[in-house]
Structure 1
Amino acid sequence: MRYSTLIKQLFIVAKSKWALQLVKGKLFSIASFEVVSNLKKMVPQLDTIIDVGSNSGQFSKVASHFYPNAEINAFEPLPDLYLKIEKLFDSNKKVKTYNLALGNEVGVINFNKNKYGHISSILDISSDNIHYPKQENDLSQIKVEIKTLDSLLLTNSLKAEITLLKLDVQGYELEVLKGAEESLKNIDYIIIEANLEQLYTNQPSFTEMNTHLMSKHFELSGMLDFNLGHKNKYIEVDLLYKKTTKKD
């Protein structure tokens, strides 16, 4: 862990109630606790959460703590990580898990699995990326099932509910949004991990992401967290978008 990352985490622990939860026997990811605790201040109530790119389930775990009545749908394409999610939420009937990637197509797709699971992606890591570990033997490619959010019909009955879509798919966020044209009509908030550096090949810029979300009637509401890279550069920020129009 880099010194700057440690300082950031110590700051989060000092200003939040993460340590209090640890004393109570509840161990949460520090980064996810920061995101969701900040989200709770801005959005007090959520009825449905769609967690795309669930990794080991850390976001959904914290979300189920802060929003205990919310229905959570957690998506993770990597089989080894999915098994952890399945086990984690085995007794929590509020959480449904899916061993799927989401995007703008239905079928099977190549997925780049990295030793560092949180940077695995459908996209290739950019040759210009100086922020991620460079061990070539840590990369392997596997086949995963992919669907569109629209094809799953998750939001069809959500018109009276407050719904959040969380996207952390390592540069593939725009493709997920393109496969959710109908679903977005019934979604109130979106969290995206926006890349400020070219981390992946063919990754859309923040400007492209922001323009697309604005065209779908979502406006930037605030920043929830950030990640630092080489030489303390801001490389990723977790941003909250809010719908500017009422549901149909």
Structure 2
Amino acid sequence: MEYSTLIKRIFIIAKSKWILHILKGNLFSLASFEVVSNLKEMVPELHYIIDVGANSGQFSKVASYFYPEARIDAFEPLPNLYSKIKKTFENKKNIRIHNVALGNENGTIMFNKNNYGHISSILEISSTNKHYPKQENDLNQIIVNIKTLDSLNLIKNKTKGNALLKLDVQGYELEVLKGAVETINNIDYIVIEANLEELYSNQPSFTKMNNYLNEREFELMGMLDFNLGDKNKYIEVDLLYKKTEKRK
């Protein structure tokens, strides 16, 4: 285990109730538990969640526990992970799983599938990225379907209840937002994993991402989690944005 990862896990366990849930038989991802438990404190009620970059379904699993009445649409383009998520939630009628990538176009796109699924991305890992162990960077490319959120009309004309968009797509978040211009008009909160260093080639800077959200009347509400990299640098942060009142 990387030293930085060990430090983070000790920190989370020391400050959270994750271990109590494990003892009760609730097997939650530690990182996702940190994000969603902090989210629950800041946003007590959610009625609809769009989970983009669902990976193995860990975020949706914790979210469905803390927000049991919420409907969830989860998106994961990798076929092996999609099958895993589908099996996990086969008895959850309020959770729908979609085997598709999201972005700013409709069609197909080349996807970089890494050994460690969490760092798989449409973007290539940057040649200057020193934070991912070499064995995790081994990859193969596959073709996946891609759609825009707006083309799916998942949340058109929302009239009540809090809706959240969660984005964890390894540097491709801005492209997803560009394909969700109409969708985010009906979104109240956005959780986004922001990269603080160039982890992927051609990824937007944090400043660019933050400005894009601010221009659409979303303001930073707080940090939910963080990831440490080489030499214990903060390389990724999970941030919560809230739509300002004047936009609602």
TM-score range for the pair, normalised by the shorter chain length:
over 0.9
Cα offsets for 1:145-182 (capped at 9, x unmatched): 00000000011142312100000000000000000000
> Which letter does structure 2 place at the counterpart of 1:65?
Y
- Structure 2 alignment gaps of length 5 or more: none
2:74 is the alignment partner of 1:74: yes
Residue 238 (structure 1) aligns with:
238
> Which letter does structure 2 place at the counterpart of 1:229?
G
Q: How far 1:245 moved relative to its partner?
A: 3.3
| RMSD of aligned alpha carbons | 1.2
Cα offsets for 1:174-215 (capped at 9, x unmatched): 000000000010000000000000000100000000000001
CA contact (8 A) 1:159 1:247 kept: no
Residue 103 (structure 1) aligns with:
103
Residue 39 (structure 1) aligns with:
39
Residue range with higher mean Cα deviation, 132-141 or 98-107: 132-141
TM-score by length of 2: 0.97
CA contact (8 A) 2:223 2:238 kept: yes
Residue 15 (structure 1) aligns with:
15
Question: Percent identity, aligned pairs only?
Answer: 71
Kindly tell me the number of residue pairs found equivalent between the two proteins.
248
Cα offsets for 1:37-66 (capped at 9, x unmatched): 000000000000000000000000000000
CA contact (8 A) 1:196 1:206 kept: yes
- Structure 1 alignment gaps of length 5 or more: none
Structure 1 residues 163 and 103, CA, compared in 2 at 3 Å: closer, same or farther?
A: same
TM-score by length of 1: 0.97
Residue 148 (structure 2) aligns with:
148
> Which letter does structure 2 place at the counterpart of 1:202?
N
2: CA distance between counterparts of 1:32 and 1:171?
19
Say which SS state the counterpart of residue 8 (structure 1) adopts: helix
CA contact (8 A) 2:217 2:247 kept: no
1: CA distance between counterparts of 2:23 and 2:136?
40
2: CA distance between counterparts of 1:246 and 1:184?
14
Q: How far 1:137 moved relative to its partner?
A: 7.6
Residue 214 (structure 2) aligns with:
214
Residue range with higher mean Cα deviation, 131-140 or 203-212: 131-140
Q: How far 1:132 moved relative to its partner?
A: 1.1
2: CA distance between counterparts of 1:16 and 1:136?
29
Q: How far 1:29 moved relative to its partner?
A: 0.3
2: CA distance between counterparts of 1:247 and 1:212?
15
2:133 is the alignment partner of 1:133: yes
Q: How far 1:134 moved relative to its partner?
A: 2.4
Which stretches of structure 1, 4 residues or more, deviate above 4 A after TM superposition?
none
